[in-house]
Amino acid sequence: MSKLMLKPTVYRRRTESFHPYRLRPQSRLLLVFDLSLLLSACTGSTAQIHMPATIQNKTALLEALETAEREDWTNALDPRVAPSEREDFLDQLNKANRAIRELIHGFEVPDAEIEDALVIPPRSLSATQRLLLIQRLQDAVQQDDRNEQAMLNDLAWSDSAFPADTAKFDEQKELANEVIKDLEIGEDVHWSRITEALVIPQSPY
């Protein structure tokens, strides 16, 4: 279920040593931008990102969030979109709306939350786009496997007496495989679930 639907806000002007498995946390914005480039090779809509030149510019940031909020609202009202896509747009609208209100009232908003709020999901996925996403998810599962094995190899040569914790990798692979299955059988999959399944977890150590 989506959160309480909010109408778009209308505002005038407002003024460590490297280990192969220890990947830097990937920005969700960069992840979606990467997906957008991937899907743009095919016919159909892609995820959009209304990102200002710098998120340090508050006025430009508010304008970008308002643009994303309006577009989310417009897409949510489109009778042609599927229910799952409509929920995605409403969820994103709520994120943008909250970020706007927090910024206006002088609160600090984490960059990750701003980046997430600026993402506008695609309206639909073509058959070709689904196949590309499935391939990307399969690649993510393989990367999870490699990172997990690298962690185990590293721990085998360490002095740690604790058993290896592979839960994060196992849970991520399970999520990715579930999304792959849904895409393969033609289920509507929330955009947020797709992007979450593509995240490569860091080592818990």
Q: For residue 10, tell me if it sits in a domain.
A: no
43 vs 32: CA distance, rounded Å:
17
b/e code 100-109 from CB counts within 10 Å (16+ = b): beebeeeeeb
Give mean pLDDT, residues 54-70. 85
Residues 135 and 186 reside in one and the same domain: yes
Residues 55 and 116 reside in one and the same domain: yes
Residue 89 has pLDDT above 80, yes or no: yes
Q: Which of 100, 120, 140 is the last residue of a domain?
A: 120
Give mean pLDDT, residues 93-120. 92
Q: Which of 73, 91, 120 is the last residue of a domain?
A: 120
Segments forming the whole domain that contains residue 72: 48-120
Instruction: Provide the residue type at 28 as one letter.
Output: R
Give mean pLDDT, residues 63-73. 95
Residues 115 and 172 reside in one and the same domain: no
Residues 109 and 52 reside in one and the same domain: yes
Residue 154 has pLDDT above 70, yes or no: yes
Confidence of residue 197 (pLDDT cuts 50, 70, 90): very high
Q: For residue 132, tell me if it sits in a domain.
A: yes
Residue 135 has pLDDT above 80, yes or no: yes
Q: In sequence order, which residues have a C-beta less than 8 Å from that of residue 162 and are 6 or more positions away?
A: none
131 vs 170: CA distance, rounded Å:
23
Residues 90 and 135 reside in one and the same domain: no
Q: For residue 14, tell me if it sits in a domain.
A: no
User: pTM for this structure?
Assistant: 0.66
pLDDT at 160: 64
- Helix/strand/coil for 178: helix
- Our count of domains for the chain comes to 2
